[in-house]
Amino acid sequence: MITIIFKAVEKCNSNCVYCEVIAKRQNAIMEYGLLKEVLQKINDYLVKYTEEEINITWHGGEVCLLGATYFLKAIEFLDKYCPTTKKRIRHAIQSNLTLINEEIIDAFKILGIKTVGTSYEYIPLDAILVNGSINTKAPHCEWVTHFMTNYFEPITGLMMR
Protein backbone atom coordinates (compact mmCIF):
# COMPACT_ATOMS: atom_id res chain seq x y z
CA MET A 1 0.00 0.00 0.00
CA ILE A 2 1.26 3.44 -0.91
CA THR A 3 1.03 6.15 1.75
CA ILE A 4 0.83 9.80 0.79
CA ILE A 5 1.53 12.39 3.47
CA PHE A 6 -0.90 15.01 2.27
CA LYS A 7 0.01 18.50 3.50
CA ALA A 8 -3.15 20.38 2.67
CA VAL A 9 -2.45 23.21 5.10
CA GLU A 10 0.70 25.09 6.07
CA LYS A 11 -0.50 26.87 9.17
CA CYS A 12 -1.08 25.87 12.76
CA ASN A 13 -2.76 27.09 15.91
CA SER A 14 0.06 25.77 18.12
CA ASN A 15 3.71 26.66 18.54
CA CYS A 16 5.57 23.37 19.02
CA VAL A 17 9.35 23.81 19.19
CA TYR A 18 10.02 20.79 16.95
CA CYS A 19 7.75 21.89 14.08
CA GLU A 20 8.91 23.87 11.04
CA VAL A 21 5.42 25.18 10.16
CA ILE A 22 5.49 28.12 12.58
CA ALA A 23 9.07 29.04 11.57
CA LYS A 24 7.99 29.23 7.91
CA ARG A 25 5.20 31.67 8.82
CA GLN A 26 3.00 30.55 5.98
CA ASN A 27 -0.77 30.45 5.91
CA ALA A 28 -1.25 28.37 2.78
CA ILE A 29 -4.22 26.07 2.31
CA MET A 30 -4.33 23.75 -0.69
CA GLU A 31 -6.82 25.20 -3.15
CA TYR A 32 -9.73 23.02 -4.26
CA GLY A 33 -8.39 22.96 -7.82
CA LEU A 34 -5.15 21.34 -6.69
CA LEU A 35 -7.03 18.94 -4.39
CA LYS A 36 -9.17 17.90 -7.38
CA GLU A 37 -6.07 17.41 -9.54
CA VAL A 38 -4.33 15.27 -6.92
CA LEU A 39 -7.40 13.06 -6.46
CA GLN A 40 -7.73 12.67 -10.24
CA LYS A 41 -4.09 11.52 -10.44
CA ILE A 42 -4.66 9.07 -7.58
CA ASN A 43 -7.71 7.75 -9.44
CA ASP A 44 -5.71 7.38 -12.68
CA TYR A 45 -3.08 5.38 -10.79
CA LEU A 46 -5.64 3.12 -9.12
CA VAL A 47 -7.47 2.50 -12.41
CA LYS A 48 -4.18 1.38 -13.94
CA TYR A 49 -3.06 -0.72 -10.94
CA THR A 50 -6.24 -2.49 -9.88
CA GLU A 51 -4.68 -4.38 -6.97
CA GLU A 52 -3.20 -1.29 -5.31
CA GLU A 53 -4.58 0.77 -2.43
CA ILE A 54 -3.50 4.22 -1.30
CA ASN A 55 -3.45 5.62 2.19
CA ILE A 56 -3.73 9.41 2.46
CA THR A 57 -2.55 10.88 5.75
CA TRP A 58 -3.94 14.38 6.02
CA HIS A 59 -1.20 16.45 7.61
CA GLY A 60 -0.15 20.05 8.04
CA GLY A 61 0.26 22.35 9.96
CA GLU A 62 -2.94 21.59 11.76
CA VAL A 63 -5.45 19.81 9.48
CA CYS A 64 -8.44 20.81 11.56
CA LEU A 65 -7.82 24.43 10.51
CA LEU A 66 -9.21 23.29 7.15
CA GLY A 67 -12.61 22.87 8.80
CA ALA A 68 -15.31 20.30 8.14
CA THR A 69 -16.30 22.06 4.89
CA TYR A 70 -12.92 21.27 3.32
CA PHE A 71 -13.22 17.58 4.15
CA LEU A 72 -16.79 17.50 2.84
CA LYS A 73 -15.49 19.01 -0.43
CA ALA A 74 -12.85 16.24 -0.53
CA ILE A 75 -15.67 13.69 -0.17
CA GLU A 76 -17.55 15.38 -3.02
CA PHE A 77 -14.40 15.22 -5.19
CA LEU A 78 -13.86 11.56 -4.32
CA ASP A 79 -17.42 10.76 -5.37
CA LYS A 80 -17.03 12.71 -8.61
CA TYR A 81 -13.44 11.95 -9.66
CA CYS A 82 -12.78 8.56 -8.01
CA PRO A 83 -16.16 6.81 -8.32
CA THR A 84 -14.77 3.31 -8.90
CA THR A 85 -11.57 3.63 -6.88
CA LYS A 86 -12.57 5.59 -3.75
CA LYS A 87 -13.00 2.39 -1.73
CA ARG A 88 -9.29 1.69 -2.26
CA ILE A 89 -8.32 5.08 -0.84
CA ARG A 90 -7.89 5.05 2.95
CA HIS A 91 -7.67 8.22 5.02
CA ALA A 92 -5.96 9.09 8.30
CA ILE A 93 -5.09 12.39 9.98
CA GLN A 94 -2.28 13.87 12.03
CA SER A 95 -3.58 16.54 14.38
CA ASN A 96 -2.73 18.30 17.62
CA LEU A 97 -6.39 17.54 18.56
CA THR A 98 -7.10 21.01 19.94
CA LEU A 99 -9.60 22.00 17.22
CA ILE A 100 -11.47 18.73 16.79
CA ASN A 101 -15.20 19.13 17.32
CA GLU A 102 -18.29 17.08 16.47
CA GLU A 103 -18.71 18.72 13.04
CA ILE A 104 -15.16 17.77 12.03
CA ILE A 105 -15.54 14.29 13.52
CA ASP A 106 -18.72 13.78 11.48
CA ALA A 107 -16.82 14.75 8.30
CA PHE A 108 -13.97 12.40 9.29
CA LYS A 109 -16.44 9.56 9.71
CA ILE A 110 -17.95 10.16 6.26
CA LEU A 111 -14.42 10.19 4.83
CA GLY A 112 -13.79 6.90 6.63
CA ILE A 113 -11.04 8.17 8.90
CA LYS A 114 -10.36 5.63 11.63
CA THR A 115 -6.75 6.56 12.39
CA VAL A 116 -5.87 9.78 14.18
CA GLY A 117 -2.22 10.44 14.95
CA THR A 118 -1.11 13.14 17.33
CA SER A 119 2.04 14.46 18.92
CA TYR A 120 2.85 16.95 21.59
CA GLU A 121 5.80 18.73 23.12
CA TYR A 122 8.34 16.39 24.68
CA ILE A 123 7.90 16.06 28.42
CA PRO A 124 10.80 14.42 30.26
CA LEU A 125 9.55 11.20 31.81
CA ASP A 126 11.08 12.07 35.16
CA ALA A 127 8.93 15.21 35.22
CA ILE A 128 5.84 13.00 35.12
CA LEU A 129 6.85 9.86 37.02
CA VAL A 130 8.50 9.47 40.41
CA ASN A 131 9.15 5.86 41.45
CA GLY A 132 6.62 4.73 38.82
CA SER A 133 3.82 7.00 40.08
CA ILE A 134 2.59 10.29 38.66
CA ASN A 135 4.53 13.21 40.10
CA THR A 136 1.67 15.55 40.98
CA LYS A 137 4.16 18.33 41.73
CA ALA A 138 5.70 18.17 38.26
CA PRO A 139 5.05 21.31 36.22
CA HIS A 140 3.69 19.30 33.29
CA CYS A 141 1.46 16.98 35.31
CA GLU A 142 -1.46 19.38 35.15
CA TRP A 143 -1.08 19.68 31.35
CA VAL A 144 -0.97 15.89 30.84
CA THR A 145 -4.11 15.45 32.94
CA HIS A 146 -5.82 18.29 31.04
CA PHE A 147 -4.82 16.81 27.66
CA MET A 148 -6.01 13.29 28.49
CA THR A 149 -9.27 14.47 30.08
CA ASN A 150 -10.23 17.20 27.63
CA TYR A 151 -8.91 15.94 24.29
CA PHE A 152 -7.89 12.30 24.08
CA GLU A 153 -10.71 10.59 25.99
CA PRO A 154 -13.61 12.63 24.49
CA ILE A 155 -12.27 12.31 20.94
CA THR A 156 -11.84 8.57 21.34
CA GLY A 157 -15.44 8.34 22.54
CA LEU A 158 -16.80 10.43 19.66
CA MET A 159 -14.85 8.50 17.01
CA MET A 160 -16.05 5.16 18.39
CA ARG A 161 -19.79 5.86 18.37
Q: How many CB atoms lie within 10 A of CB 9?
A: 23
The arithmetic mean of pLDDT across residues 7-13, rounded, is 86
Q: Among residues of the chain, what percentage have pLDDT more than 90?
A: 44
All structural domains of the chain: 2-122 (3.20.20.70), 124-161 (no CATH)
CA nearest to 12, candidates 102, 72, 92, 99:
99
Spatial distance between the Cα atoms of 47 and 35, rounded to a whole number of angstroms? 18
Spatial distance between the Cα atoms of 30 and 49, rounded to a whole number of angstroms? 27
Q: Which residues pair with 6 in a beta bridge?
A: 58
For residues 13 and 96, the answer to whether their CB atoms sit within 8 Å is yes
**Could you tell me the pTM of the whole model?**
0.74
Q: Identify how many contiguous H helices and E strands the chain contains and give both numbers.
A: 7, 8
Phi, psi of 112 (to 5 degrees): 90, 20
For residues 59 and 6, the answer to whether their CB atoms sit within 8 Å is yes
4 pLDDT more than 90: yes
Spatial distance between the Cα atoms of 13 and 65, rounded to a whole number of angstroms? 8
Chain-centroid distance of CA 98 in Å reads: 11
Spatial distance between the Cα atoms of 40 and 74, rounded to a whole number of angstroms? 12
Structure confidence at residue 96 as a pLDDT band (50, 70, 90): confident
Q: How many CB atoms lie within 10 A of CB 116?
A: 19
**Helices 153-160/102-111 angle, 10° precision:** 50
pLDDT digits (tens, 9 = 90+) for 59-84: 888 899 999 999 999 999 999 999 99
**Residue 148 DSSP code:** I
pLDDT digits (tens, 9 = 90+) for 25-36: 677 889 999 999
pLDDT digits (tens, 9 = 90+) for 114-158: 888 887 655 554 444 455 555 555 444 454 555 555 555 555 555
